[in-house]
Structures are given as C-alpha cells and as structure tokens.
C-alpha cells in the first residue's frame, strides 16, 4: 500500500474531531473522503500532511512513518496537497507558480534557480520545460507570463493542482478542488483528475460535489462525527442506508 492511516485520533479541548480513523490507499487510485460539514475531513488531511499532530495513531507512507514530521519534510517525501482556500503566489506569473512547486525535487531549489547560483542553469531549464508541459495539461498554455491573480477562479484551481504535481509527488491530497467552480469548470476538473489517474497518479480527494466524486473516485470513505462509517465503491456508498442517513438525511439519496 502507498499510504496506511492507522487509528488517527485528534481532540480539540473536549471535542473529538477525529476518532480511530483507519484506511489505506493503493497506487494509481482515487480515494474520495466525504461527509457532512464538521465530519473531520480537513482535520484528517491536516493530520496526514503534518499541519496537525495526532493525539494517537500513525501515518505510514511507502513503508515509512510520517507521524510527527514537519509539513515540509512530508512534502519532500512525496506527499503534497492543495487547500480549500487557494495558496497561490498572486504576484508571480502562472509559469513561476508551477516552477515554485518543483523546488522539492530540484537539487538547487527554485529560489536558487532564479539567481546566478553556479550549476543551476541546466536545472532551471529542465524545470521550466516540465512546468510548460503541466500548463498544457491543465489548459493554461499561452498564459505563462500572466500573473496568477489575473486568472479566473477556476483556472487558479487548476494552476494550484499543476503546482502540486510539479514536485512529482507519489500522492496528492486535493482539498475541495471543485469549490467555487461553475458547471463547465467542474466537468473540466473531473476530466483532468481522470487523466491523472490514467497516468498512474494517486489522489486523495475531499469534495462536496457528489457528482464529481461519483464520476472520478475508485473508492469512497465516509466520515461522520470524526468516525469512519463506510468505505467502498461509489455504487456501494450510494446504496448504503447509514451513509444516506448521516450525509443527506433519511429521505434523500447520494446522487
């Protein structure tokens, strides 16, 4: 297994945000994490990526324990994420934003590649070419010199995903990538995620747009009040009475 989450638990004061969460992710799959607001989805993301420390439990990535490591160490190990609120460098160009994501795998690092640091010219050229390829894949070709802040919101979402992929991670965590997107942009995003899976990428996805989840996910993990209540294929989750009751109410269906 690529990622193994074992018994993650996190308390905030007297509130248990996440309780004994366990799941695994295998290579080249999309696992979606869903649940009602306050179910603990983003907390799980923050525990996996080192933004929070668990009170108990462990995160094992490629056979190595990540629990307790700083976020930058976890990212360098090959696990990156995006955020609900965009974390782009608005004053930098589209191309520079993607290149910034590549520093994790570069020997010299992105900031050094922008200087006259000896021996970085070849690496800078390589990073630039790889960034241009990612731009093409997300439909941003021709916009490399545009400030990131000038992009429409949906394009900024795609740019953030491209930047996360620039470090060539083994696993990408996407926190509500369809948030704020219109119908056309959401369909474009779903198509891109499916292409990534076809390329062998592994994704862990938190998303409220159930149509997107059902279209792209291989498996779905459902949280409610910080606990796992179901794990299975989309069709199984759609038909699960406990999920329907917890997530949408007894008289509704997971569409």
- Give the pLDDT confidence of 27-39 residue by residue, as tens digits: 999 999 999 988 9
Question: Does any domain span residue 133?
Answer: yes
Beta strand ranges found along 68-118 (DSSP E):
79-81
Structure tokens belonging to residue 9: 């638990």
For residue 146, pLDDT beyond 90: yes
| Max avg pLDDT among 36-50, 76-90, 148-162 | 36-50
For residue 117, pLDDT beyond 80: no
CATH of the domain at 217: 3.40.50.300
- The whole-angstrom separation of Cα 147 and Cα 189 is 21
Alpha-carbon distance values, 151 to 143, 145, 237 (Å): 9, 11, 36
Alpha-carbon distance values, 250 to 39, 66, 155, 238, 245 (Å): 17, 39, 37, 13, 4
**pLDDT grade for 107, boundaries at 50, 70 and 90:** very low
Q: Region 141-168: what's the mean pLDDT? A: 91
More confident residue, 111 or 158: 158
**Average pLDDT of the chain to the nearest whole number:** 89
Question: Does any domain span residue 114?
Answer: yes
Domains contained in the chain, number: 2
Based on the domain organization, do 159 and 88 belong to the same domain?
yes
Question: Does any domain span residue 254?
Answer: yes
Q: Which of 39-48, 74-83, 99-108 shows the lowest mean pLDDT across its residues? A: 99-108
Question: Does any domain span residue 55?
Answer: yes
- The whole-angstrom separation of Cα 1 and Cα 45 is 18
Based on the domain organization, do 44 and 83 belong to the same domain?
no
Based on the domain organization, do 90 and 159 belong to the same domain?
yes
The predicted model scores a pTM of 0.88
* Segment 214-255, tens digit of pLDDT: 999 999 999 999 999 999 999 999 999 999 888 666 444 555
Domain membership of residue 239 as a residue range: 1-75+203-255
pLDDT given for residue 105 in this prediction: 62
């Amino acid at each position: 297994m690529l990622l193994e989450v074992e018994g993650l638990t996190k308390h905030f004061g007297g509130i248990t945000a996440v309780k004994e969460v366990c799941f695994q992710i295998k290579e080249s799959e999309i696992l979606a994490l869903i649940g009602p607001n306050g179910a603990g989805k983003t907390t799980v993301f923050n525990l996996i990526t080192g933004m929070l420390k668990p009170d108990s439990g462990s995160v094992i990535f490629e056979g190595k324990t990540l629990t307790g490591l700083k976020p930058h160490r976890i990212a360098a190990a090959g696990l990156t994420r995006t955020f609900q609120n965009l974390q782009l460098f608005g004053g930098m160009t589209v191309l520079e934003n993607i290149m910034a994501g590549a520093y994790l795998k570069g020997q010299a690092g992105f900031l050094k590649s922008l200087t006259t640091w000896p021996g970085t010219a070849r690496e800078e050229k390589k990073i630039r070419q790889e960034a241009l390829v990612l731009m093409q894949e997300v439909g941003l070709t021709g916009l490399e010199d545009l400030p990131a802040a000038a992009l429409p919101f949906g394009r900024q979402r795609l740019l953030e995903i491209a930047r996360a992929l620039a470090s060539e991670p083994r696993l990408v965590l996407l926190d509500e990538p369809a948030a704020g997107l219109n119908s056309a942009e959401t369909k474009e995003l779903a198509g891109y995620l499916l292409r990534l899976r076809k390329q062998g990428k592994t994704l862990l996805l938190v998303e409220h747009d159930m149509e997107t989840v059902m279209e792209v996910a291989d498996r779905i993990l459902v949280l409610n009040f910080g606990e796992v209540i179901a794990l299975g294929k989309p069709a199984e989750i759609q038909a699960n009475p406990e999920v329907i009751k917890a997530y949408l109410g007894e008289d509704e269906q997971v569409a």
